[in-house]
Structure 1
Amino acid sequence: MQLTAYTKEFKKNLNIAYPVMLGQLGHVMVGLVDNLMIGRLGAAPLAAVSLGNALVFITMSLGIGFSFAITPLIAEADGADDLEGGRSYFHHGLILSSLSGLFLFIMLLIAKPLLYYLDQPPEVVELAIPYLNIVAFSMLPLMAFQAFKQFADGLSQTRYSMYATLLSNVVNVVFNYLLIYGIWIFPRLELEGAAIGTLISRFFMLWFIWEILRRKSKFVEYFKWSKKEMIKWTIFKRLLALGFPTALQMFFEVAIFTATVFLAGNLGTNPQAANQIALNLASMTFMIAVGLGVTATIRVGNQVGLKAYRELRRISFSIFLLVFLIMGVFALLFILLKDILPGFYIDNFEVVNLAAQLLIVAAVFQLSDGMQVVILGALRGLQDVKLPTLICFIAYWVIGFPVSYYFGQPERMGSMGIWMGLLAGLTSSALLLYFRFNYLSRKLIRTKEPLIA
């Protein structure tokens, strides 16, 4: 097949992906703003935000991963022109996502004392606990927002969640500035001020997306609730069957990145702060890939609804090629700007130098990180989630984490060794997931679509 068969899809892929990219970057920007503003308070407060967010990101990955089940079901119903089915998936998904927000809030409160037993610097833990108390409550609006977002994404209407997240970032920046430093009539709350800013911005985000979606003609029919179809356990079971493995996929990946925070904390406050800077920068480029991963789920789901399996494979490979090119550019930028970017976070020579070294490893795994998340998105569109979940576990925790733990000891490679484990895990994941998608897509063409001369 000629290269143009893939490149001609780039424009449509990007039209769907760019709002998701910006929206996902909006989530990361909440952390970036916190890091930039708190970094001016010193290395210990920055490390405390890193430590508190480590638990938040683990639990949040479960909730967000679970909500991802909504998108392929909505996309398939949309491709098959099944309004009633799509509405039912949306309503049940909203109920489950809201309940998951409550569960994650309670889970964070219960898990909070673990920070005292992870061999972290005592001054960092003392600062992290009050921050975590407030951010935990923001799981409630965030998970409800995710249900609306994944629903709209499934209908290929990705720009509304982008508007919500970008505007919520403005709210976050304003309240962070006022509450961290005590500007005007507001008290100086430092880390707790950053947490309150995050909480306010997430309630705003939920209100905004609800308000804008319910007023658009495209969504009006989906917002009609009836007692007849409100609760169907078969729909809950299907969402759980897709959502639980997807949540575990995200959990396994986010958990290994979070493990780097704890491993770096064992090396000291400065290595932990450097690790947080490199993680934040890598997270921003990863969100670009996440946007294309969502695009893969949407477009593959549509083709499943249409039963067009040859098109499904061609479109998927166009997205794989696109993410490979984009992440290649980011890899080059990380190498060229490795000594400059960390300086925006903190004025500490040792922290900046350590972060610059980590960015070299981050540059290398940009390609595999981008590929694995997009291939996972395509498999999610096929509603294939169980074996990919096992693949993620093996790649990150059987291959990646042992490498991080062994080489991350201070007498070996330290911080660089920790990140070598990330490289090993992400590369293994990308390769194994590709083999899985290649097998399934070929099998669909062979068994469900007749050969066309």
Structure 2
Amino acid sequence: MRNLIATYKGHYKALFYLGIPIVIGQIGVIVLGFADTLMIGHHSTVELGAASFVNNLFNLAIIFSTGFSYGLTPVVGSLYGVRKLASAGQALRCSLLANFLVGLLLTFIMWILYLNIERLGQPDELIPLIKPYFIILLVSLVFVLLFNGFKQFTDGITDTRTAMWILLGGNLLNIVGNYILINGKLGFPELGLVGAGISTLFSRIVMLVVFAFVFFSSRRFMRYKFGFFRLGWSKPVFRQLNALGWPVGLQMGMETASFSLSTVMVGWLGTIALASHQVMLTISQFTFMMFYGMGAAVAVRVSNFKGQNDMVNVRRTAYAGAHVILAMGVVLLSIVYLLRYHLGGWFTDNEEVSMMIVVLMGPFLAYQFGDGMQINFANALRGISDVKPMMLIAFIAYFVISLPAGYFFGFVLEWGLFGVWMAFPFGLSSAALMLWLRFRYKTK
């Protein structure tokens, strides 16, 4: 044990230094998700069901776009590791263009989905609430992608604090806007779910504008701005970003799709099941976002060492990340377990929903360690730019294993919502195993 600590001590410290600001920023996202669900749930259970459906569809687009933007991290991280700062600035410029084009593509795809929304088998009472909320979130997609471009750039140069402060400020603005517009405060009309959508759109625009202002006006980014403006566009860099971004986006998108398509199945079970599903997904963000914050730090450190061709420290960084995430999991899951009988009442006054939350705690706790490990080793592979095999791994774990299992448990065995959730431990744990084996093979 003493030798283990001595070997990894420096890596633990570096990961905490990089990861804690990212985790804090993610906590802001978690608090926003909690606040959204709390305020909408207490406004009406029907609106909570509609929010569950729309948010899960958009989570698929947003997580894919976040994964696509992650293609910038190994590029910038490797350049930063060998102090090619102007080239890192050029990579940011190319990344913003790539993210903008992907944002337009995703907006078009989601618009086609909107035109067919009534064919997805959701309760009729939810459709009038789903449609306007869907349109507002659709407008915000491009702003999310451009923000991600700036965030992955600053993370890649080990400046994780800038994005943290902007995320915290933007999420606070969103929460205040929710309170005002959902409930009709300070002279504004009571807009309910539509008010939550407007607040989200406004905060996303503000966060992008602030990030761009910080980058272009601050002297500490001077050498990066030289590359951004003077080196111009680079087709090789643009192709490299796409070659890395699409596989990561598809890998993360397939993971999220297993949850989003599960939401469509949950909708077949009715409004109460959808509302319960939304509350559990909000609770699951508590662990997922914090794991992903530390996983992002693993990707940055791994890419820095990969740029220096130091494979020993690439491996040590990845395993140090696994140790940290496992420790985080023990602490976070203990908190959730102790609060299991109280969580439902925080989000809704509906007794059926509150009781279902307690029932779903079993499968939720069962998949957390698999989720943490697949996040860690997916980010480690991203850091060494070994991303294409991740698509096949994700397809097997989520489309071959998780989704069919959810349908089998939920509808063939007639376990209902509990059965749909029982599939997640199988999908996430199998992904973790395959990603770990791939990382071990590539770095042995």
- What range is the shorter-chain TM-score in? over 0.9
What amino acid sits opposite 2:13 in the alignment? K
Equivalent residues in 2 for 1:212-223 (5 A)? Answer: 212-223=214-225
Matches of 1:54 and 1:364, distance apart in 2: 21
For 1:137-184, what per-residue CA distance to the aligned partner results, in whole angstroms no more than 9, with x for missing partners? 111211111000000000010111111111011211121111111112
Matches of 1:175 and 1:342, distance apart in 2: 24
Equivalent residues in 2 for 1:343-358 (5 A)? Answer: 343-358=345-360
TM-score in terms of structure 2 length:
0.96
Task: Give the C-alpha shift of residue 411 in structure 1.
Answer: 5.4
Contact 1:339 1:356 in 2 (8 A): yes
Q: What's 2:262 paired with?
A: 260
* 1:36 and 2:38 aligned: yes
Q: What's 2:4 paired with?
A: 3
Contact 1:289 1:323 in 2 (8 A): yes
Contact 2:262 2:403 in 1 (8 A): no
Equivalent residues in 2 for 1:203-282 (5 A)? Answer: 203-224=205-226, 229-282=231-284
Matches of 1:19 and 1:212, distance apart in 2: 17
Matches of 2:436 and 2:215, distance apart in 1: 36
What amino acid sits opposite 1:195 in the alignment? G
Matches of 1:405 and 1:114, distance apart in 2: 22
Task: Give the C-alpha shift of residue 226 in structure 1.
Answer: 6.7
Q: What's 2:341 paired with?
A: 339
Higher alpha-carbon deviation: 215-224 or 230-239: 215-224
TM-score in terms of structure 1 length:
0.94
Contact 2:86 2:227 in 1 (8 A): no
Structure 1: 4+ residue segments shifted above 4 A? 225-228
Matches of 2:33 and 2:131, distance apart in 1: 17
Q: What's 2:102 paired with?
A: 100
Matches of 2:100 and 2:27, distance apart in 1: 23
Matches of 1:8 and 1:328, distance apart in 2: 22
* CA shift in 2, pair 1:226/1:418, >3 Å: closer
Matches of 2:327 and 2:282, distance apart in 1: 21
Higher alpha-carbon deviation: 212-221 or 301-310: 212-221
* CA shift in 2, pair 1:316/1:127, >3 Å: same
Report the identity percentage. 34
For 1:329-381, what per-residue CA distance to the aligned partner results, in whole angstroms no more than 9, with x for missing partners? 22222222211112110011110111121122111211110110111000000
Contact 1:357 1:416 in 2 (8 A): yes
Matches of 2:316 and 2:75, distance apart in 1: 21
Higher alpha-carbon deviation: 405-414 or 291-300: 405-414
Contact 2:90 2:227 in 1 (8 A): no
Matches of 1:222 and 1:180, distance apart in 2: 41
Contact 1:331 1:362 in 2 (8 A): no
* 1:166 and 2:201 aligned: no
Equivalent residues in 2 for 1:176-215 (5 A)? Answer: 176-215=178-217
Higher relative contact order (CA 8 A, sep 6+): 2
Q: What's 1:63 paired with?
A: 65
In structure 2, the gaps of 5 or more residues are none
* CA shift in 2, pair 1:227/1:18, >3 Å: closer
Candidates 9, 16, 24, aligned match of 1:14: 16
Q: What's 2:133 paired with?
A: 131
Q: What's 1:365 paired with?
A: 367
Q: SS at the partner of 1:157?
A: coil
Q: What's 2:159 paired with?
A: 157
Q: What's 1:451 paired with?
A: none
Matches of 1:403 and 1:284, distance apart in 2: 25
Task: Give the C-alpha shift of residue 100 in structure 1.
Answer: 2.0
Higher alpha-carbon deviation: 319-328 or 333-342: 333-342
Candidates 83, 93, 112, aligned match of 2:114: 112
Structure showing the higher helix proportion among its residues: 2
Task: Give the C-alpha shift of residue 410 in structure 1.
Answer: 7.7
Task: Give the C-alpha shift of residue 416 in structure 1.
Answer: 1.2
For 1:243-264, what per-residue CA distance to the aligned partner results, in whole angstroms no more than 9, with x for missing partners? 0001101110011011221111
Equivalent residues in 2 for 1:432-443 (5 A)? Answer: 432-442=434-444
Matches of 1:304 and 1:408, distance apart in 2: 44
In structure 1, the gaps of 5 or more residues are 443-453
Q: Cα RMSD over matched residues?
A: 1.6
Contact 1:149 1:161 in 2 (8 A): yes
Task: Give the C-alpha shift of residue 395 in structure 1.
Answer: 0.6
Q: What's 2:391 paired with?
A: 389
Q: What's 1:302 paired with?
A: 304
Matches of 2:186 and 2:169, distance apart in 1: 23
Task: Give the C-alpha shift of residue 412 in structure 1.
Answer: 2.1
Contact 1:30 1:198 in 2 (8 A): no
Higher alpha-carbon deviation: 110-119 or 220-229: 220-229
